[in-house]
Amino acid sequence: MFDAVSPSDSGAMQRAVGHLRVAFKRRGADTVLDTLYQQGCLKARFPRVDPGAWPVAVTLNTSGGVAGGDRLDVALDMAAETRMTVTAQAAERFYRVIPGTGPSVVRTRITVGDGAAMEWLPQETILFDRCALDRVLDVDLALDSRFLGVEMLVFGRSASGERVETGSLRDLIRVRRDGALLWHDAIRMNGTIDATLCRPAVANGARALATVLFVSSDAEGRLDDVRAALPADAEAGASAWNGMLLTRILAPDSASLRATVSVVLDVLRDGRALPRVWNC
């Protein structure tokens, strides 16, 4: 529906807007839903889990992908002593931007309370040629909380012969612990993205990359296990300091990237199975 305007009039085309706020609290030994607010194209669902498994929340974008001018806002709040895995129903696709519509804007804020544990495990972000993405993830942790997060960027679907020749990407992750900035990571690419990825100091030709961040009191003690689990042929490395373990992964395609990410998550999640939607 175009509300009586021409489909070719990019300035008047409808844009997708989504707001999602989910909060969890402790009830006895269980983590239960406290608040659910969903508006527009963003939704959350809570599938059944096996006894003893962590509760899971699955986010959905009913718009079917993100275009220029779309805006998605997500807030996730974990009360003290809760634990939760949050994932996405599918990989999120960011399509080319029509001139004059502006970038796709995504803002996510995660708050993890005292003694709580949170896993942020979205599936891949797939970028299309001539996309424009402005995305920020803010994570606020209590001093004794625990956080595991993954972000996977895929530049074009290699099986379809796609490349992101040009585009714009601003991807910022900020993590604070007890109010102090713990980690600030920014990726900014404009213009000739494919040529930039070919540079040896950037990605050396890789078209998929991932960051896995683990913040916990035992993070540094997990470093040797993560390094030992990394496949010998993987372009990956891990470091740990100041109660944080960081793994970077480069891969030629999304399938190879996911395989290596899954190995790292298996170590950091103590062998617990990944959310079922990762197998869909």
- pLDDT at 13 (0 to 100): 65
* pLDDT reported for residue 15: 86
Say what the pTM is.
Answer: 0.92
pLDDT of residue 35: 97
- Predicted pLDDT of residue 7: 46
| 49 CB-side CA count, 13 A | 21
The residue ranges of the chain whose pLDDT is under 50 are 1-10
Per-domain residue ranges of the chain? 24-279
Q: What is the pLDDT of residue 51?
A: 78
Query: What is the per-residue pLDDT for 12?
Result: 58
Task: State residue 192 phi and psi, 5-degree precision.
Answer: -80, 80
pLDDT given at position 22? 98
Residues 6+ apart with CB under 8 A from 228: none
Q: Are 238 and 227 in contact (CB under 8 A)?
A: yes
Three state DSSP letters for 87-133: EECCCEEECECCCCCCCEEEEEEEEECCCCEEEEECCCEEECCCEEE
How far apart are the C-alpha atoms of 114 and 145, rounded to whole Å? Answer: 5
Q: How far apart, in whole angstroms, are the C-alpha atoms of residue 61 and residue 244?
A: 31
Dig out the tokens for 277 from the structure.
């939607």
Residue of 20, 119, 6 whose CA lies nearest to 62: 20
pLDDT tens string 51-69: 778 999 999 999 989 999 9
